Structure 1
């Protein structure tokens, strides 16, 4: 009997179903030469290099000639550490520049000690790049923004920078920059990051923004939201705003963001009232999802905290009844026990706080 014939499209589909099984994909490479391209496409779709492992040496030994390496299959490249890259220079690492078709790039330093990793070597690495994530403790901001502006198709951006002393000195604002129409994730203590973003000549058009700040940096968050007001659909804010003796900052006024449908707040125990005022200034009737995550809910909340929770309860219960907006409130175990006293209206409707949700 002759061997059954399967169309190439079905064979490709079978191999694609094994995308997360490298051992099976390697076996496919031994079955037939015609299976090798599709198997490699999945085997090398995501490449990770870590300075703690021998992955770099293994790669260079396997593919000593970068031009013959399978990097043209790679769509996701993740590099963690590699302090020697910055010290040795780009000529010593041609393997980096062979990744010319990646769509997603993650570059991170492991700690303060290995921040010698130079971002200059990644500038313009792939003209097809659409997502960039940088986790750098204290990389120079001019290098960061030079890298951002070297990718014309960039949409999604994630930045985490821990050194508040780094500034934009030495950065010349370019004539063009990517449109940045996807998501923005910001973390760390450096406020100059936002100033640099607001200076980009192409403007900001993010549809989703997630900002994590250890201090009450409300003004810069408002600047970001205002700049993206015509495209912003989702805003998540994580910050501690004030202490017992400090003044509550001004609320976020998001009423001029016509497409905003999803808002979320992760705040401290004294900031619930600020959330209430912000929601009232955001035309909450237009929202579809409201998420509140409270850190530090005390088993014995202060009178101020109780008033804040009661006001939040009244507002959210009204939105639930009138506009079918079902809120999400999480976290601490004690909030479960305190829900009847802090959230009486929602509790009476059968609402229960959630736990372990992901931002």
Structure 2
């Protein structure tokens, strides 16, 4: 019997819509083995899988030796490299301040700057010496970088605060497209010398034409002497500031920072606050925000309360006292500020059997519990961040 004329079954796999492919791959974005498998199983999954695998590349000195870094650099230099278009976020992490800064960071950064197909949007440089920055200045200031996080250190202890800021500014002025900037600086077991601006830096400026958000860590007092100098910072698009207050700071310089840097355009102010373990008191200086005419929202984050996770009553008491101290030392807040909120770094559920007079901590009407009439037209709430 001749069956040659009968239709043969079609064993071809059905075509999956591209949108469904993306959903499948994005579901595995944090599962590296699954992403590798997907990139090998189906050609239509290859592009999205590579994107999820390489879009956030992280290289740390403690996990990679000089040969490993050189190998990665050679891969990027290869004309057959196909992962370059997928790398949009790059994090390079050095090592402890007691050791020389790794040379592979400089070589890798130079390679990245020489690749026209590499369109970095986010770059994070952590645990590197301040002396390395002049070697990392990009060849072309017209970069695609919109987010930069700079964590510098100085283990030797011979750099003054003025030189620290000037080196950072010389580096930052080469990134014209930046929209978000995070600056951190720490020193190993020393006190940084805070010197007033010298005459030879009169013409120096930090130009951030497109930056909308700046975050400064607890060592931002290193930047205050220069940042508080009129005309030093040019950031016309700045609308959001995040500060992590140190345990001690000169009130005059902090107030100058608010009056000079924040006053022209800042709308959102985020302040992280710590407390003294010995006295359980919140450290918060008196600040006057009367010159911040565009300010609309203030967010206070009370940190390091996790040590009281086994003693909820003590934790709540510390938070209540801290909120009261903050509001009592906050000046110049008018009706244009529509929201003042408080939060903690980790969510805490209200404890069972909490006394009635503390229950208002978990309500939106925090001002009612504080009985503070100055904020009667402002939404004041407690929330977790």
TM range (shorter): 0.5 to 0.7
User: Which blocks of at least 5 consecutive residues in structure 2 are unaligned?
Assistant: 1-9, 305-317, 345-365
2:267 to 226, 232, 247: 232
- State the 1:52 CA deviation: 0.9
SS of match in other structure, 2:266: coil
- State the 1:235 CA deviation: 3.1
Q: What is aligned with 1:128? A: 144
Kindly report which structure 2 residues correspond to 1:177-216, keeping only aligned pairs within 5 A, or say none. Answer: 177-179=207-209, 181-189=211-219, 191-197=221-227, 199-203=232-236, 205-216=238-249
In the alignment, the residues of structure 1 paired with residue 324 and residue 377 of structure 2 have an alpha-carbon distance, to the nearest angstrom, of: 22
TM-score w.r.t. the length of structure 1 is: 0.67
In the alignment, the residues of structure 2 paired with residue 145 and residue 313 of structure 1 have an alpha-carbon distance, to the nearest angstrom, of: 41
1:165 to 169, 181, 193: 193
In the alignment, the residues of structure 2 paired with residue 62 and residue 267 of structure 1 have an alpha-carbon distance, to the nearest angstrom, of: 39
CA deviation string 1:187-214 (max 9, x = no partner): 2446341344451334572323223223
CA deviation string 1:161-188 (max 9, x = no partner): 2342376778685677223543222224
In the alignment, the residues of structure 2 paired with residue 271 and residue 31 of structure 1 have an alpha-carbon distance, to the nearest angstrom, of: 56
Q: What is aligned with 1:103? A: 121
Q: What is aligned with 2:339? A: 288
User: Which blocks of at least 5 consecutive residues in structure 1 are unaligned?
Assistant: 294-311, 329-353
Q: Does the 8 Å contact 1:173/1:200 carry over to 2?
A: no
Q: What is aligned with 2:166? A: 142
1:42 to 52, 55, 59: 52
2:179 counterpart of 1:155: yes
2:361 counterpart of 1:316: no
- State the 1:90 CA deviation: 4.2
The structure-2 alpha-carbon separation of the partners of 1:186 and 1:128, relative to structure 1 and needing over 3 Å to count, comes to same
2:133 to 90, 106, 119: 119
TM-score w.r.t. the length of structure 2 is: 0.63
CA deviation string 1:97-153 (max 9, x = no partner): 4674222222121xxxx7376123432378121222222222843331122111111
Q: Does the 8 Å contact 1:184/1:208 carry over to 2?
A: yes
The structure-2 alpha-carbon separation of the partners of 1:257 and 1:213, relative to structure 1 and needing over 3 Å to count, comes to farther
CA deviation string 1:9-55 (max 9, x = no partner): 43233222322111111111212334322211110011111111127
Kindly report which structure 2 residues correspond to 1:333-352, keeping only aligned pairs within 5 A, or say none. Answer: none
The structure-2 alpha-carbon separation of the partners of 1:250 and 1:7, relative to structure 1 and needing over 3 Å to count, comes to closer
Give the structure with higher Rg (CA): 2
Q: What is aligned with 2:89? A: 76
2:64 counterpart of 1:54: yes
Farther-moved stretch of structure 1 (275-284 vs 26-35): 275-284
In the alignment, the residues of structure 2 paired with residue 146 and residue 249 of structure 1 have an alpha-carbon distance, to the nearest angstrom, of: 31
Q: Does the 8 Å contact 2:94/2:101 carry over to 1?
A: no
The structure-2 alpha-carbon separation of the partners of 1:291 and 1:89, relative to structure 1 and needing over 3 Å to count, comes to closer
CA deviation string 1:247-272 (max 9, x = no partner): x9653234633332224265998987
In the alignment, the residues of structure 2 paired with residue 321 and residue 174 of structure 1 have an alpha-carbon distance, to the nearest angstrom, of: 41
